[in-house]
């Protein structure tokens, strides 16, 4: 899966974008995504008035909006009819699902809102929502209240984590294990790859209830209903017992109590697995995580070293941190067979 990183844009466009204009251009593209301009123009050309009617954009605002997208190399125009360029068609339609378009543009809007108070956040230590006096629900609360958000988020991550899942399945040897608990397992994308690579393995995906509904559909379409079961639960509470692998993948900061719960759930000889784009021990990598932390509600920066020492302090042995691929790391620890 390819993202529309800046190197995909025409050079003559990038050459005109200083930092301020870059910010405005970025916001403009997000508006186009949110309004679903590229999906509307998928495989066809339309007059500006028809685009305006379809997307409910005022005629007075249309020319600057559409022509700026032409300037960015995302739309082309002839005789007042607009269409997607190949760039827009590839990266904003072909490479992403409707779930991705909806969820990602929503997350971007929330990030812009948070960024408007960045200096104050830095100087007061408060988060953007506190400064604006409007407490925002966490993404988990938002999904619990709104099933469409649960579906958009989960389907987006299913798409987004596919390559990570394939890399993890190549990296992690679970040939000697039978029962995996995928804590906060979302769409089940990791479990799907792991059970496919290990024919003796079955998995339970522990998730909030609205996500479980989406996961069930994904697992059914993957033909793995018998081997992967979603189960509603809270990942911060004691975990169901009797698993010989407990995995936390991209679930945010992994606290010592969570690892302690994993210990309690594991059978003797079992394995705890933490997978994420963890911060390097000096905190300077990975860049996309660092930038994300400036707009997120959590200021906690869990490093690989933090997770490894929390595992050791819970009693796990042979704790190892290894790079899976790109910025993705896997930290494992073994519960001794006898203790
Ligand atoms: C970023 S997603 C990662 C999903 C999956 N592990 C993956 O790698 O694709 C984190 C998941 O953790 C779940 N989660 C977070 N807090 C939770 C809680 N308290 N109880 C149950 N699930 C939770 C969310 O619903 C979400 O699906």
Q: Which of 180, 251, 273 to mutate to test the pocket of ligand 1 (most atoms within 8 A of CB)?
A: 251
Is the predicted pLDDT of residue 146 greater than 70, yes or no?
A: yes
Mean pLDDT (the chain) is: 95
pLDDT digits (tens, 9 = 90+) for 98-143: 999 999 999 999 999 989 999 998 999 887 777 777 777 889 999 9
Q: Between the CA of residue 320 and those of 260, 294, 301, 323, 325, what are the distances in Å?
A: 18, 29, 19, 10, 15
pLDDT (0 to 100) of residue 297: 65
pTM: 0.94
pLDDT digits (tens, 9 = 90+) for 63-89: 999 999 999 999 999 999 999 999 999
pLDDT digits (tens, 9 = 90+) for 195-228: 999 999 999 999 999 999 999 999 999 999 999 9
Instruction: Tell me the CA–centroid distance for residue 258 and ligand 1, in Å.
Output: 13
Instruction: Tell me the CA–centroid distance for residue 168 and ligand 1, in Å.
Output: 18
Q: Which of 161, 165, 186 to mutate to test the pocket of ligand 1 (most atoms within 8 A of CB)?
A: 186
Nearest atom (ligand 1) to Cα of 160: 9
Q: Is 184 in the pocket of ligand 1 (CB under 6 A)?
A: yes
Residue-range domains of the chain with CATH: 6-94 (1.10.10.10), 107-155 (no CATH), 161-334 (3.40.50.150)
Q: Which of 159, 208, 247, 258 to mutate to test the pocket of ligand 1 (most atoms within 8 A of CB)?
A: 208
pLDDT (0 to 100) of residue 296: 76
% of the chain surpassing 90 pLDDT: 89
pLDDT (0 to 100) of residue 301: 83
Neighbouring residues of 302: CB distance < 8 A, sequence distance ≥ 6 = 253, 254, 278, 279
pLDDT (0 to 100) of residue 298: 66
Nearest atom (ligand 1) to Cα of 251: 10
pLDDT (0 to 100) of residue 339: 58
Instruction: Tell me the CA–centroid distance for residue 274 and ligand 1, in Å.
Output: 13
pLDDT digits (tens, 9 = 90+) for 220-270: 999 999 999 999 999 999 999 999 999 999 999 999 999 999 999 999 999
Is the predicted pLDDT of residue 282 greater than 90, yes or no?
A: yes
Alpha carbons 140 and 277: distance in angstroms, whole number: 20
Helices 19-34, 98-115: inter-axial angle, 10-degree rounding: 140
Instruction: Tell me the CA–centroid distance for residue 252 and ligand 1, in Å.
Output: 8
Q: Whose CA is nearest to atom 23 of ligand 1?
A: 184
Average pLDDT over residues 43-57: 98
Neighbouring residues of 42: CB distance < 8 A, sequence distance ≥ 6 = 84, 89, 93
């Amino acid at each position: 899966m390819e993202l529309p990183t800046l190197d995909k844009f025409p050079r003559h466009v990038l050459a005109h974008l200083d930092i301020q204009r870059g910010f405005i251009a970025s916001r403009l593209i997000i508006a186009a995504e949110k309004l679903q301009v590229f999906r509307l123009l998928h495989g066809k050309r339309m007059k500006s008035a028809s685009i305006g009617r379809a997307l409910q954009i005022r005629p007075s605002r249309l020319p600057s909006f559409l022509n700026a997208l032409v300037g960015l190399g995302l739309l082309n125009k002839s005789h007042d009819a607009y269409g997607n360029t190949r760039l827009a068609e590839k990266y904003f339609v072909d490479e992403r699902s409707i779930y991705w378009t909806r969820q990602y543009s929503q997350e971007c809007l929330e990030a812009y809102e948070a960024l408007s108070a960045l200096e104050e956040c830095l100087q007061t230590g408060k988060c953007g929502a506190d400064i604006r006096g409007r407490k925002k629900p966490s993404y988990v609360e938002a999904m619990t209240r709104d099933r469409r958000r649960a579906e958009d988020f989960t389907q987006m991550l299913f798409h987004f984590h596919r390559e990570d899942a394939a890399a993890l399945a190549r990296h992690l040897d679970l040939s000697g294990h039978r029962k995996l608990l995928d804590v906060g397992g979302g769409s089940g994308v990791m479990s799907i790859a792991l059970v496919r690579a290990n024919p003796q393995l079955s998995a339970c995906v522990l998730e909030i209830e609205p996500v479980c509904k989406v996961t069930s559909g994904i697992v059914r379409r993957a033909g793995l209903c018998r081997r992967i079961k979603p189960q509603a639960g809270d990942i911060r509470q004691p975990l169901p017992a009797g698993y010989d692998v407990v995995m936390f993948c991209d679930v945010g900061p992994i606290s010592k109590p969570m690892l302690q719960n994993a210990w309690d759930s594991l059978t003797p000889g079992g394995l705890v697995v933490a997978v994420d784009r963890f911060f390097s021990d000096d905190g300077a990598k990975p860049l996309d995580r660092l930038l994300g932390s400036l707009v997120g509600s959590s200021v906690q920066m869990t490093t690989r070293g933090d997770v490894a020492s929390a595992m050791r302090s819970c009693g796990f042995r042979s704790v190892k941190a290894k790079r899976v691929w790109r910025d993705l790391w896997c930290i494992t620890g073994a519960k001794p067979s006898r203790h």
